[in-house]
Amino acid sequence: MQNQPFEVAFYAPCLADDYDDYFAILEDMGVRYVGTGLSLAKIRDKKALNALKTAADARGLSFIALHSPSGLLWEQGLDYGQQITREVIDAAATLCARSTVWHFRYIHLSKPEEALGGDRVNSMSLKELDRLLEEALPASCEYAKDAGVEINMENLPMFRWSRDSREILECIRKVNLPNLGYIIDSGHSHANGEDPAAMIREAGPLLRDTHLHDNLGTRGFDFSKPGTQADITPARDLHMVPGQGTINWIDLVRALRDIEYPFPVAFEGPRMRGHPDEENIDSWELCMRLTLENWRMFEETANYLPNP
């Protein structure tokens, strides 16, 4: 069992009407699992969700993850946040997706108006964000549990409030609910100066989902700063094909084997950042195929490369 190749999942764009073109590519690659991010409008559209599920089924694809369009916290308060959270969980249940993905400590704030969403969160103290999160999680997880869905919290790049995976693990251990887990975004972890493989080993069974992709690391980021959206794009969160950047993928494979990670490993949008063809489907296909080839090569290399 230990050195079996992992099942793989790829995020596919499902917001426009051409999602079946992406599903067809995954089917042709022999991929059986898919994840996606949807807008609030889409998660409220039962007909659209059912059409997505039917199209995926027809291609032999199962949804494993729904990336929530919202955070768990809203400035409008607990009840408002719970209502949106339930809608996201209902959508995941319709897609039969086990995992829902939520950005750790994210709160929807309307001010300052000129700032971007993530930058607004910088106005809150970590203590206050944790208090709100610990208040919101029990009811959210209870509702999700009844739907057979997990709430998994993801690390974000550069932002002080979300860049430390250990703080996410601490929060999960403190709240201690059976369907509350950690999803590692390998690229974010690497850009934050963490060792993603070490974080996987520290998480152990709390690791319930992945967003795998590559980048060039911290690139001179000053960690005494709170971090802003401008620190993230375009230079750091590059979502590159594994092997294009500087993550130690061989050790990352070994870490997933060490913890006996039981799920398909999910890749989130490796693309050709900055390339003129970045947005076109042929380049998407090329990136997915390269990702799968490289990943299989890293798995193979992890079998025989001696430990340092």
C-alpha–C-alpha distance, residues 126 and 128, integer Å: 5
C-alpha distances in Å from residue 239, one per residue of 43, 244, 273, 284: 25, 10, 7, 12
Altogether, the residues listed in the chain come to a count of 308
The binding track of 2-41 with respect to Zn ion, each residue x by CB under 5 A or -, is: ----------------------------------------
Does position 211 bind Zn ion by CB under 5 A?
A: yes
**Shortest CB 127 distance to Zn ion, Å:** 25
Only one of the segments 113-121, 205-213, 235-243, 279-287 lies at the binding site for Zn ion (rule: CB under 5 A); that segment is: 205-213
Long-range contacts of 284-287 (CB under 8 A, 24+ apart): 284/13, 284/22, 284/25, 285/25, 287/241
Does position 185 bind Zn ion by CB under 5 A?
A: yes
Only one of the segments 22-30, 86-94, 211-219, 244-252 lies at the binding site for Zn ion (rule: CB under 5 A); that segment is: 211-219
Backbone dihedral region for residue 239 (phi beyond 0: left; psi -120 to 50: alpha; all else: beta) = left
Does position 103 bind Zn ion by CB under 5 A?
A: no
**Shortest CB 121 distance to Zn ion, Å:** 16
Only one of the segments 37-45, 162-170, 243-251, 266-274 lies at the binding site for Zn ion (rule: CB under 5 A); that segment is: 266-274
Only one of the segments 36-44, 126-134, 162-170, 206-214 lies at the binding site for Zn ion (rule: CB under 5 A); that segment is: 206-214
Q: Is the Cβ of residue 119 or residue 185 nearer to Zn ion in the bound state?
A: 185
Q: Based on C-alpha coordinates, what's the Rg of the chain?
A: 19
Does position 236 bind Zn ion by CB under 5 A?
A: no
- Determine if the peptide bond prior to 112 is cis (ω within 30°): yes
Residue nearest to Zn ion (CB): 211
Q: Is the Cβ of residue 194 or residue 268 nearer to Zn ion in the bound state?
A: 268
Only one of the segments 1-9, 37-45, 104-112, 204-212 lies at the binding site for Zn ion (rule: CB under 5 A); that segment is: 204-212
C-alpha–C-alpha distance, residues 242 and 287, integer Å: 10
The binding track of 138-167 with respect to Zn ion, each residue x by CB under 5 A or -, is: ------------------------------
Q: Is the Cβ of residue 209 or residue 251 nearer to Zn ion in the bound state?
A: 209
Does position 213 bind Zn ion by CB under 5 A?
A: no
Q: Is the Cβ of residue 37 or residue 81 nearer to Zn ion in the bound state?
A: 37
**Shortest CB 211 distance to Zn ion, Å:** 3
Residues in Cβ contact with 110 at an 8 Å cutoff, skipping those fewer than 6 apart = 75, 120
* 89 bridge partner residues: none
**Shortest CB 23 distance to Zn ion, Å:** 21
Footprint (CB under 5 A) of Zn ion, residues 53-82: none
Q: Report the interface residues with Zn ion, using CB under 5 A.
A: 185, 211, 268
